[in-house]
Amino acid sequence: MFRNFNGWEVIIVLVVVLLLFGARKLPDLARSIGASAKEFRKGLQEGVEEAEEEKANDA
């Protein structure tokens, strides 16, 4: 997904984010993104475990 970005494009995106949210809100934004990613991975893992459990019960 991000393979097509070069260095300048990443810098421009980071500057735009900094301008939109401000320096004070960036740590909170990063923390909430991290928490969301953690919950997403947890949900994926639970889905995999349920699928494996159903597969074992069917066999």
Q: DSSP string covering 1-54, please?
A: --TT--HHHHHHHHHHHHHHH-TTTHHHHHHHHHHHHHHHHHHHHHHHHHHHHH
**Which pLDDT belongs to residue 59?**
66
| 27 within a domain of the structure (yes/no) | yes
| 8 within a domain of the structure (yes/no) | no
**Which pLDDT belongs to residue 2?**
59
Domain ranges, residue 48: 23-59
Which residues lie below 8 Å from residue 21, measured CB to CB, with a gap of 6+?
Answer: 29
| 50 within a domain of the structure (yes/no) | yes
How many domains would you assign to the chain? Answer: 1
d(CA 40, CA 4): 25
**Which pLDDT belongs to residue 1?**
53
| 33 within a domain of the structure (yes/no) | yes
* Regions of the chain with pLDDT less than 50: none
| 3 within a domain of the structure (yes/no) | no
What pTM value is reported for the model?
0.58
